[in-house]
Structure 1
Amino acid sequence: MSFESDKRFNDFKHFPRGLRRSGEFTVAEADSLEKYGTAMLAIYQGNLAPRDEVETAFAEQLKAGEAGSNPHAKVWFKYLKVIGPKRVHRLCTVAGGASDDAGGSFDGGGGSAGGGDESLD
């Protein structure tokens, strides 16, 4: 049988409440990861050589970077995408080098109208 492992796969670093309760995976995907994830991780890291044609196809698809129709590769790529770095989309822009100073500047000015050093007594 493909992807045999004695140990169930859990990633408590990224999913402290477990794969099923993360909300990122369907029940079938979470089952697949829990059942075969340890062997998938070992093949992905190169610690385990593929033992049959299903594992060999999985390793080839990992090298190619596409899942194709292999359900094991699809769920593994989804796992990698979920644990990967998050993209942050900001709704504001930074005016780098704008010619007009409409909003004030951050040049370290005193902020007072007199412009000199004023001491408080």
Structure 2
Amino acid sequence: MDKNSFLSGRTFYDVQHFPNGFSREGVFSIRESELLSDCGHTISQLNSGSVEPQNPDQEKMLEFLQGKRDPETDLERIWSKYQTHLNKQYIAMRTMYTETGSSHQESDSSDF
């Protein structure tokens, strides 16, 4: 898979989950961070359906994004790693709020 197939001229950022950048959070290597920054915008658009694949590499990436096959290329593995990290953060936040909410509800119900 050719990296050039995913270059959009826009750098991909995720300030919500990686406020210091991909390379400074300790999740990605420098090479992975660069690939994600360079190609992530196009992959994100493919993933959301806001653009259609423009070449065979993007078509293959879309198959991966749709879960039709496992990651085979470095770029697919990096995107998978990115998504896994987001899911872990979401689960951690959800667990924290759920545990806080349930312990609060339990103490309220014992007052009756």
Task: Give TM-score, length-normalised by structure 1.
Answer: 0.67
1:80-105: CA deviations, max 9, x gaps? 111122356xxxxxxxxxxxxxxxxx
Question: How far apart in 1 are the matches of 2:40 and 2:22?
Answer: 11
Change (3 A) 1:63 1:107: closer
2:22 is the counterpart of 1:19: yes
**Which protein is bigger by CA-based radius of gyration?**
1
What's the Cα RMSD here? Answer: 1.9
2:84 is the counterpart of 1:81: yes
- How many angstroms does 1:4 deviate by? 2.1
Kept after mapping to 1: 8 A contact 2:46/2:53: yes
Q: Corresponding residue for 1:72?
A: 75
Counting aligned pairs with the same residue, the percent is 24
- For structure 1, which runs of at least 5 residues remain unmatched after alignment? 89-105, 109-121
Task: Give TM-score, length-normalised by structure 2.
Answer: 0.72
Change (3 A) 1:32 1:67: farther
- For structure 2, which runs of at least 5 residues remain unmatched after alignment? 96-108
> Of the candidates 44, 60, 63, which is equivalent to residue 63 of structure 2?
60
Query: 4+ residue stretches of structure 1 with deviation over 4 A?
Result: none
Aligned residues: 92
Question: Bigger shift: 13-22 or 68-77?
Answer: 68-77
Question: How far apart in 1 are the matches of 2:36 and 2:18?
Answer: 13
Q: Greater RCO between the two (CA within 8 Å, min separation 6)?
A: 2
